[in-house]
Amino acid sequence: MPSVLITGCDTGLGRELASQYAQSGFQVVATYRDIANRLPDAAMRHLPLDVTDFAQFAALKRSISDEPIDVLVSNAGIGLDIGALGSLDFDYLRSMLMVNTVGPLKLVETFVDNVAASEQRRIVLVTSRMGSIGSNLSGGHYGYRASKAGLNAIGRSLALDLFKRRITLILLHPGWVNTAGGGVDAPVSVQESVAGMRNVIARLGNHETGQFYTYDGQPLPW
């Protein structure tokens, strides 16, 4: 039975990713910033992980040990920075960089050997089209854009470095999704976004490593 480890399962996309993967027959390790938010599914493994706390990464690694992880999904993230120049919240911006950029890199470093030991050997970094410099025609959102652009750069380098270990890594934009972050006017449901991302992940070839796609498989500019 294939396995998947997903971060940020407290709400939204992470929660739906865990549910859909469980329904499709995967062994799911769901991690939560607050373990009180765990899904009511006794078949999953529910473990704490605040991606800004490296001690929690070490504890999670001890729990997983050397078990293979077929699909490693870095989903945990924060956004909603709407400040303009002169009124920016730099403490929040630092937190955003830690969660959205540093956290995913620490996740990969912690579990890369588990992925390499699996059959599927796939790593997925949930990013955003707002991290695309080529697509930025509206400005603003300095912290969020920077954190996701940084994640994209990290993901591209990881893909090149891990290719020799036969690991396929991609970056996925989930769309404008109807979540707490996306808002009620967002046109894409959580269920549609996750189903699309899972389809992209399932059909991946190793020649696609390091690519930046939408949830329905369309390429995006850097």
pLDDT at 188: 86
pLDDT at 70: 98
pLDDT at 176: 82
Q: Which residues are catalytic?
A: 144
Nearest to 130 by CA among 142, 121, 120, 122: 142
Contacts of 10 (CB under 8 A, 6+ apart): 32, 33, 34, 37
| Tokens representing residue 84 in the block | 């303009």
Domains of the chain, start order: 3-214 (3.40.50.720)
Residue 57 to residue 49: CA distance in whole angstroms:
7
Cβ pair 101, 147 in contact under 8 A: yes
pLDDT tens for each residue of the chain, 222 residues long: 999 999 999 999 999 999 999 999 999 999 999 999 999 999 999 999 999 999 999 999 999 999 999 999 999 999 878 888 999 999 999 999 999 999 999 999 999 999 999 999 999 999 999 999 999 999 999 999 999 999 999 999 999 999 999 999 999 999 988 666 655 667 789 999 999 999 999 999 999 999 999 999 999 999
